[in-house]
Amino acid sequence: MGIRTVEITDDMIRLGQFLKLAGLAEDGGQAKSLIEEEEVTVNGRVETRRGAQLRDGDVVAVGEEKARLVTA
């Protein structure tokens, strides 16, 4: 499975918001659960902070699904 690209207009976005925007989580509750259950990686490392700040080029994965953050 390839990595989808998700574009934002700001310099950064928080992990919980990005999971929803990228379609990796249906809503904030699911995003929180995925993060708490250590099912989310950022650039290959498990991330447990919902408010972690993502920047241009970061790759977020949940299982086999991956999304790369790109700033406009």
Residue 58: give its domain's CATH number. Answer: 3.10.290.10
* Token duo for residue 57: 């080029």
Query: Is pLDDT above 90 for 1?
Result: no
14-41 pLDDT, tens digit per residue, is 999 999 999 999 999 999 999 999 999 9
Confidence category of residue 57, pLDDT binned at 50, 70, 90: very high
Going 29 to 17 to 47 to 40, the CA torsion angle's sign is: positive
| Closest CA relative to residue 40, chosen from 69, 71, 19, 68 | 19
How many distinct structural domains can be found in the chain? 1
Domain hosting residue 15, numbered range: 3-71
Give the separation between CA 32 and CA 15, rounded to whole angstroms.
10
Within 10 angstroms of residue 11's Cβ, the number of other Cβ atoms is 9
Report the share of the chain in percent with pLDDT over 70. 99
- Please tell me whether the overall predicted TM-score, pTM, comes out greater than 0.85 for this model: yes
